C-alpha cells in the first residue's frame, strides 16, 4: 500500500480547511481521505490525475492541487516527500506546473533564460512602470499639486515680463468662464513674442502676449484658457512629471527617501513650460475644454479657430518658442475638435463682458 501524507482539504463551500491524508494510487489517481469531526470517519474519494479539471501548481515548499468545476475543491500539502513524489509522477505523465516549466527552461538554457528575464525587467522599467506611475499620480491628494506649483512658480516666472494690469483683466476673463471647481485658477499675462501658454500644477496659468496678439475673437482666448484649465483639472502636468521620472521616484520611494521625491518633483516643475504632453492628453484637453466652453455659454467653435491659428503660426515661429513645441498638433486634432462641435451644439450668443475684456487685453 502506498504511503499516506498529511494535507489540508478545502471543499469549495467554506473557507475552513479540514485535516486530510492523500496518497497516489495506480495507475493515475489521487486518493483523498478527509478526517471526520470528533474522531469519526470522514469522506474518501479519488481524483483522476489525467482529468481535465485537475490542475496543480507548486512553490519550493507548497503544493496546491485543485479539482472539479463548482465547487472547486483544493488540496494543499507542505509535506516535502509527498511534493517530490507527486511532482515526479506528474513529470513522467508530461504534466508540469508553471514553476517546473520555468525551472526546466532555466536549466536547459540559462543564457536565454537570463536574457529573457533582463528583457522583462527592462520592459517593465521603461514601459510598465511609467504607465502605472501615471495612473498612481491620480491617487495623490490635490494638495500635492498645489504645493508643487507654489514651490516652483516663482522660479518659473524668473525672467518673464508679467503685465500686472493685464493679468487682472485676464483673471476676470477666466473667472467669467468658471472652468473648474477643484482648483483656484490664477491667470498671468506675460509680454513676449512667444506664441505660448502653459499651466502649472495647482492652478497657475501663464499666457504670452504673442499668442493673444494673433487672436481675432474672444472665443479663441476662452478656448486657450479652457484647454489649459483642463490640464490643471485633470492633473496632466503631474501625470507627465511622474511618468517621466517614474524610475527615479520608484527607487527613491523604495529607499524611503520621501524628501528626495518632493524635491525632484519641484525641480522638474520648473521645466513644465517645455514639457511635451502626449497625444491622448492633448486630445483630452481639447475635448474637455470644449465641454467647459459650452457650459460657460461660449461657442466651442473657438477651439477649432484656435487650433487653426496655431497651425498657421507654426510655420512662422521657431519651434522652441511655439505653443506647439509642448502641445503637439497632430493631423487629426483639428478634425476631432471640429467633430466635437456637433456634440456641444448651441445656440451660443456673444458675451459682451468677455468681448470687452478681450478687447482690453488686445489694446496697445
Segment 192-196 shows an average pLDDT of: 88
Query: Across the chain, what does the average pLDDT equal?
Result: 79
Question: Who has greater pLDDT, 161 or 313?
Answer: 161
| Long-range contact set of residues 52-61: C-beta below 8 Å, sequence gap at least 24 | 54/30, 56/86, 56/90, 56/95, 56/97, 57/97, 57/98, 57/99, 58/83, 58/87, 58/97, 58/99, 58/100, 59/99
Instruction: State the burial class of residue 181 (Cβ atoms within 10 Å of its Cβ: 0-12, 13-18, 19+).
Output: exposed
Per-residue pLDDT tens over the stretch 58-92: 877 888 888 887 788 899 999 999 988 888 887 76
Segment 150-173 shows an average pLDDT of: 91
Per-residue pLDDT tens over the stretch 266-310: 556 556 655 667 778 888 899 999 999 999 999 999 999 999 888
Q: Is the dihedral of CA 233, 238, 244, 247 positive or negative?
A: negative
Amino acid at each position: 500500500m502506498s504511503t499516506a501524507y498529511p494535507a489540508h482539504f478545502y471543499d469549495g463551500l467554506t473557507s475552513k480547511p479540514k485535516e486530510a491524508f492523500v496518497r497516489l494510487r495506480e495507475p493515475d489517481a489521487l486518493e483523498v481521505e478527509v478526517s471526520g469531526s470528533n474522531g469519526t470517519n470522514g469522506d474518501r474519494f479519488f481524483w483522476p490525475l489525467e482529468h481535465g479539471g485537475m490542475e496543480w501548481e507548486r512553490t519550493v515548499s507548497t503544493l496546491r492541487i485543485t479539482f472539479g468545476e463548482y465547487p472547486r475543491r483544493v488540496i494543499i500539502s507542505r509535506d516535502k516527500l509527498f511534493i517530490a513524489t507527486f511532482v515526479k509522477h506528474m513529470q513522467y505523465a508530461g504534466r508540469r506546473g508553471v514553476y517546473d516549466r520555468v525551472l526546466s527552461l532555466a536549466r536547459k538554457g540559462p543564457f536565454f533564460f537570463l536574457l529573457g528575464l533582463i528583457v522583462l525587467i527592462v520592459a517593465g522599467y521603461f514601459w510598465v512602470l511609467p504607465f502605472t506611475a501615471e495612473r498612481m499620480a491620480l491617487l495623490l491628494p490635490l494638495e500635492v499639486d498645489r504645493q508643487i506649483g507654489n514651490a516652483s512658480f516663482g522660479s518659473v516666472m524668473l525672467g518673464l515680463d508679467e503685465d500686472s494690469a493685464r493679468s487682472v483683466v485676464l483673471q476676470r476673463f477666466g473667472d467669467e468662464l468658471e472652468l473648474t471647481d477643484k482648483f483656484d485658477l490664477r491667470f498671468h499675462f506675460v509680454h513676449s513674442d512667444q506664441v505660448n501658454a502653459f499651466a502649472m500644477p495647482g492652478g497657475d496659468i501663464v499666457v504670452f502676449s504673442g499668442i493673444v496678439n494673433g487672436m481675432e475673437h474672444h472665443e479663441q482666448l476662452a478656448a486657450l484658457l479652457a484647454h489649459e484649465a483642463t490640464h490643471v483639472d485633470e492633473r496632466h502636468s503631474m501625470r507627465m512629471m511622474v511618468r517621466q521620472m517614474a524610475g527615479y521616484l520608484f527607487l527613491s520611494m523604495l529607499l524611503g527617501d520621501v524628501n528626495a521625491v518632493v524635491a525632484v518633483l519641484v525641480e522638474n516643475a520648473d521645466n513644465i513650460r517645455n514639457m511635451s504632453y502626449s497625444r491622448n492628453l492633448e486630445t483630452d484637453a481639447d475635448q474637455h475644454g470644449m465641454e467647459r466652453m459650452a457650459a460657460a455659454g461660449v461657442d466651442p467653435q473657438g477651439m477649432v479657430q484656435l487650433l487653426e491659428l496655431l497651425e498657421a503660426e507654426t510655420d512662422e515661429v521657431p519651434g522652441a518658442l511655439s505653443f506647439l513645441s509642448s502641445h503637439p498638433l497632430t493631423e487629426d486634432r483639428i478634425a476631432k475638435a471640429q467633430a466635437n462641435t456637433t456634440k456641444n451644439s448651441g445656440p451660443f450668443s456673444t458675451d459682451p463682458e468677455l468681448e470687452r475684456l478681450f478687447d482690453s487685453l488686445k489694446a496697445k
